[in-house]
Structure 1
């Protein structure tokens, strides 16, 4: 039985970490060739320079939207491939965190660009959509894919319950502002206005589609509540990272021998990285910059495209953008699930949602503060309800430490129902 076996995203033993290790030998040309030819989605890279050019050319908004939308797909795939290559020499928990972080790079960049362009509702819907996409679509497809290989898959229950507990807390942090608004908003007899069904669904208001209108009497309180909650959630997320990576790291690691054994009981051959670490870091930086430029073109074209296609803007922000942005996590999570590495699957999908809910959303709320933009944690009643039921379903499915394909079907079904609700929102 070969020694020092390991699989993608799993830690390596110290014995193969010499200077001739592939990840430590600077091979920029070979590494770049591998990255650019590693998947068929890379043919769409031809749209990236076109998207950058479109930023300076007066093309129709729909053309810009389609081109920039297509360009983000291969960029997300490149982020995933470069991250996977970089993480081959790391532990499972660090690898899952690294995949979740760079997998969320697209959503974060879209959020930052939308914040700069004062598209606060787009910030909210894209972030919320990323959470739902990860815990329902990505995790659901992973469970279903694992079910095609294994009758039943197992994972460490304590680690999964800890992750779902953090996710529940972050969910509650987003629900409380909505409850505050519903309780203390002025009624029509006090000078407020009756919200329309669309306003209730999308969380918009007659005066400002980005936050509750100031005349309802809750904006000031919502800002204080949201910013305070954001600071608390960031603190909890820091403790969670320490818990995951340092004090209780063993809880998030699968048994090393089991992780290297396939469904036939055979130990898998060692998979060596095709890229050196320096090239992987360099490409991560290049792709991140390119993604930021493409995201800027995409966000700027959404309003006009939604109007011309008669497509709800919330559907674009909550469904379409997250599906593209989560492409890297989706592929990694499904692939790891089919190889029986459920700790990595849950770490990527649920961990990515935790990072968004307890990390990225609070960061964007606090970043909007000095910019004078009233970004809050207030989501409409419909949004908070669907987030709550989604987290509840995930918690129920994770509590026994086992999963099968039917549980994946349940998660996917809930995601499709939510997508349908937003598709008919306008």
Structure 2
């Protein structure tokens, strides 16, 4: 008796037909994958943080019923926290079931989904200042606050945490170079703006925060747009090349390596004792969950952005502070917890990869992507940041590079990074 169309899913018959229906069934749930019920039970009830999802409909009601702006801002602000975690969980679950290349591309696309969504919503609403400060704030939050908190937490559990300089710089050195390149690309538009600036500057940090390309003559304004958009395209090309470098041509350099337990013991190429994490969701269920959460997050981000201006005016808080400090804390909440937890387990190479890698994605992928989207949608988003913002980014990257050179970390280095972040936050508070 010939096997039926469904028999390949039930036994190992090598003569199974490759019908379209069979392929669809395999896509929906491959052999050995968790069921849909188990997948979503884990997805929805797997963390106490998901209790905050109850605030999503409340935030929607507050928006459509035009409640007080600070209340709308607060509800939307907190509601994004569990959504950011769910986006990270869904991306991680899909990555576990896919190959290295697809997993890398998936993480590159959705690794900073909240930043992309918030930035895109703000851009389409014409809130260019919020877009710029939130992107810059995400970079600073990752390399200063998150990495600093990780070093601090790791230092409290261990006198000194070590990571192989070669391994750290394998994953961090190209990344550090890319981050430095991103800093340089921000310096050039700022230098061009300073050279072509025609409007008088009254002085002070507040006036710097309000500068825009509107204070340039028409020729200079077009020149700044050409520089920004051309640089954005080039940065996207560099980032694609970096992904190819990381996932294909030099993939072995990015494999975590085991630290030797005995002096002069040769270090094996691949960590053998690292436990393999098994997926808790099927690829199809994780993909559907990722799609649903992305849509919900876009609505909540819209509620949040719509309440920023009135909230800022009510409490006298600058948009720069909201974009640079408050929004990145929400967007990076899940990464913050994961990075600190890995540092407490003395997995410093993974911690550095999370913090620096996320910053690289924002600097060389998210920001250029938004500039290109603004180009096609008619919004004049540029890579011009004022002098204070550019200097803040440059000194932050410089400090991180210095602290990573010795291959060691302790709580004092963590305090240094956090202190610099607080100083920058204080400066933007009074801006």
TM-score past 0.5 threshold? yes
Task: Map 1:3-82; keep pairs closer than 5 Å.
Answer: 24-82=32-90
Partner of 2:324: 318
In terms of Rg, which structure is larger? 2
Is the alpha carbon distance of 1:164 and 1:23 closer, same or farther for their aligned partners in structure 2, counting shifts above 3 Å? farther
Q: C-alpha displacement at 1:351, in angstroms?
A: 1.1
Q: Distance in 1 between matches of 2:72 and 2:184?
A: 37
Is the alpha carbon distance of 1:170 and 1:270 closer, same or farther for their aligned partners in structure 2, counting shifts above 3 Å? closer
Partner of 1:4: none
Q: Distance in 1 between matches of 2:201 and 2:257?
A: 57
Q: Distance in 1 between matches of 2:231 and 2:362?
A: 14
Q: In 2, are the aligned partners of 1:115 and 1:123 still within 8 Å (CA)?
A: yes
Is the alpha carbon distance of 1:275 and 1:123 closer, same or farther for their aligned partners in structure 2, counting shifts above 3 Å? same
Task: Map 1:182-221; keep pairs closer than 5 Å.
Answer: 182-186=194-198, 192-202=199-209, 204-205=210-211, 210-215=212-217, 218-221=220-223
Partner of 1:11: none
* Deviates most, 48-57 or 136-145: 48-57
Is the alpha carbon distance of 1:112 and 1:232 closer, same or farther for their aligned partners in structure 2, counting shifts above 3 Å? same
TM-score (norm 2): 0.84
Partner of 1:145: 153
Q: Distance in 2 between matches of 1:136 and 1:23?
A: 43
Q: C-alpha displacement at 1:177, in angstroms?
A: 0.5
Is the alpha carbon distance of 1:89 and 1:164 closer, same or farther for their aligned partners in structure 2, counting shifts above 3 Å? same
Is the alpha carbon distance of 1:420 and 1:94 closer, same or farther for their aligned partners in structure 2, counting shifts above 3 Å? farther
Secondary structure, aligned partner of 1:272? coil
Q: Distance in 2 between matches of 1:199 and 1:23?
A: 60
Q: Distance in 2 between matches of 1:73 and 1:57?
A: 22
TM-score (norm 1): 0.84
Partner of 1:102: 110
Unpaired runs of at least 5, structure 2: 1-25, 262-271
Partner of 2:362: 356
Q: Distance in 2 between matches of 1:93 and 1:87?
A: 9
Task: Map 1:99-138; keep pairs closer than 5 Å.
Answer: 99=107, 101-138=109-146
Unpaired runs of at least 5, structure 1: 1-17, 187-191, 260-265
Is the alpha carbon distance of 1:148 and 1:199 closer, same or farther for their aligned partners in structure 2, counting shifts above 3 Å? closer
CA deviation digits over 1:324-353, x for unaligned, max 9?
Answer: 001121122222222333333222211111
Q: C-alpha displacement at 1:153, in angstroms?
A: 2.2
Q: Distance in 1 between matches of 2:286 and 2:100?
A: 18
Secondary structure, aligned partner of 1:164? helix
Q: C-alpha displacement at 1:267, in angstroms?
A: 5.3
RMSD: 2.8
CA deviation digits over 1:276-333, x for unaligned, max 9?
Answer: 2222221111111111000001001100011112222211110000000011211222
Count of equivalent residues: 392
Task: Map 1:182-261; keep pairs closer than 5 Å.
Answer: 182-186=194-198, 192-202=199-209, 204-205=210-211, 210-215=212-217, 218-255=220-257
Is the alpha carbon distance of 1:26 and 1:416 closer, same or farther for their aligned partners in structure 2, counting shifts above 3 Å? same
Q: Distance in 1 between matches of 2:43 and 2:58?
A: 20
